[in-house]
Amino acid sequence: MKSLFWKEWRENRTNLLIGIMIVIGFLLLSFFVSGDMVDIAKVLALVAIFAFAGVFGAWSFTKEKNTLEFFLSTPVKRETIFLNKWLSGILNILILLSVVLVMEAVIFYSTGGFNFLFHLRQTADNRILAWSLPAYFLYYNIAFLLSLLLFEIISAVLGGLIIYVVVAIPFVSFFSSHGPRLYHALAWIWTILQLIISLSIFLIAYRIFSRKEVKV
Amino acid sequence: MAEYVIETQGLTKRYTRRNEAVKSLDLKVPKGSVYVFLGRNGAGKTTTIRMLLGLLQKTAGKAEVLGLDPDKNPVPIKKRVGYVADNQKMYDWMTIQETINFCRPFYPTWNNSLAEDLLKRFELPKRAKIKELSRGMNGKVALLLALAHQPELLILDDPTSGLDPVVRREFLQGIIEIIHQEAKTVFFSTHIITEAEQIADYAGVLEEGKLLLSQPLDKLKDSVKQIRLIFENKVPDDVSFPGLLKKELIGHELVLTVKDYTPDALKSLARFNPKSTEVLDLNLEDIFVSLVGKEAVA
């Protein structure tokens, strides 16, 4: 619903704007530095999006701490409220990722590149599809669930990060011990695993919200 | 069930094994009435209202609001009910106009001209942010949102708590005007009795989750009375009366507060030979205190 989406947009736009500025800042930095620093700056832009994925997730229900009763007393299906909140956060993450892609394209052409799509295809599956996007979704979903349970932004952000790291450690240590030989296979298994976990967390959060009671 | 807009049978809400907020509530709110739901803080009024709106799931019993089960049909109920919560918190970053714009699409029956009329009547500045409003004005915005979609039933959960007497009177006046103009059913929960008496034609008293009584206000005032007996000598110990709520002894004077008063029953007191007998009317506050006060006879 337009009205619901407008509300979420208004509540998220400051965080989104700050996120865009930070991401652009790192990418501009990559334009002005040289050597390894170029890649480090680009990776920092992606890490910033990861951090904001947690913030968007944690903010989803925390911001409703005092207003949930008012929101739930409107004649809107809980499913609609839930999906609207979830999709708004996902959209913000995709906007930040789009900023990265657009900025990279601008930098690519301005430094003499001529086929950005080819360049993207070479880097996308590793940096964005295999690693970044599923990681964003997973962290976002964990923080989203925690915000629904705790209504506390710091706890949801930090708790989400701790849970993400705990989930990721076994895979990363396995990957480290086997080296680049299994890189592609492991990357895709990890991608699929993260998406499955994300989907499970999404369904758990949905079930909790559909039964959530406004207590006295 | 059509003659009642709210009807519950054995409605129960249990948060934990030891915490039963509402205990087997049998409630009937007639269509077109102004029903005042009285109870002290923590009596279970808000829990009951939240169950009626589907914000809380009932533990046991049955509930129907406008003929619908709130657990199964919360959205159709909310479309037809106007609700003002106790100290309702809306989005403080929105202006009043934005709050109206946000809520309007949810209600197919939203009446723009009525909303405009209420804005003027309540003297609400459209461009003011919710966070800038006083508690009274915040309550008026909540009332506007509850009324602008022309609900069949208005549920007000202690809407005047925390308001100063002047604002409370203004707020109540707004409600009274609307009740008279629109002839709506109003279910009004409060712990401020004097305001309830001004607008009610039915009253229910809730105490510790139990409904102590539910009656038309006139009938309630006819049946709950204070009987003052003055004796020449010692007051007999065994004086009793049907539906005795409270018994106070002051020297040679015995004051009985009873809930099942009839002139016939009064005759039964003659055998105690009082020097004089006087029957006193009670206002709603006295009745309420007699029912839920510490000195009430169990």
Residues in chain A, overall count: 216
| Model pLDDT, residue A215 | 64
How close does chain B come to A169, measured CA to CA in Å? 39
Question: Cβ contacts (< 8 Å) between A7 and chain B: which residues?
Answer: 91, 102
The answer to whether the Cβ–Cβ distance between B50 and A6 falls below 8 Å is no
**CB contact set of A154 (below 8 Å; sequence gap of 6+):** none
Taking CB atoms and an 8 Å limit, are A3 and B76 in contact across chains? no
Write the CB contacts of A169 (distance below 8 Å, at least 6 apart in sequence): none
- Nearest-Cα distance to chain B for A66, in Å, is 6
CA distance B1 to B257: 35
Taking contacts as CB-CB distances below 8 angstroms, the residues of chain A near B108 are none
**Residue B55 at interface with chain A, using a CB cutoff of 8 Å:** yes
Please report, for chain A, the start and end positions of each structural domain, with discontinuous segments joined by +.
2-211
pLDDT in tens, chain A (216 residues): 799 999 999 999 999 999 999 999 998 898 888 888 888 888 899 999 999 999 999 999 999 999 999 999 999 999 999 999 999 999 999 999 999 888 888 887 887 877 777 766 666 545 565 678 899 999 999 999 999 999 999 999 999 999 999 998 887 787 777 766 676 677 778 888 999 999 999 999 999 999 888 765
DSSP A35: T
Instruction: Give the model confidence (pLDDT) of B80-136 as tens digits.
Output: 999 999 889 999 999 999 999 999 999 999 999 999 999 998 889 999 999 999 988
Distance in angstroms (rounded) separating the CA atoms of residues B258 and B225: 6
Q: Which residue of A has its CA nearest to B106?
A: A75
A216 touches chain B (CB under 8 A): yes
Distance between B91 CA and the closest CA of chain A, angstroms: 7
Q: 């944690």: which residue's tokens? A: A58
Which two three-digit tokens encode residue B219?
């009938």
pTM, two decimals, is 0.88
Yes or no, beta carbons of B46 and A216 under 8 Å apart? yes
- Name residue, tokens 């604002």: B167
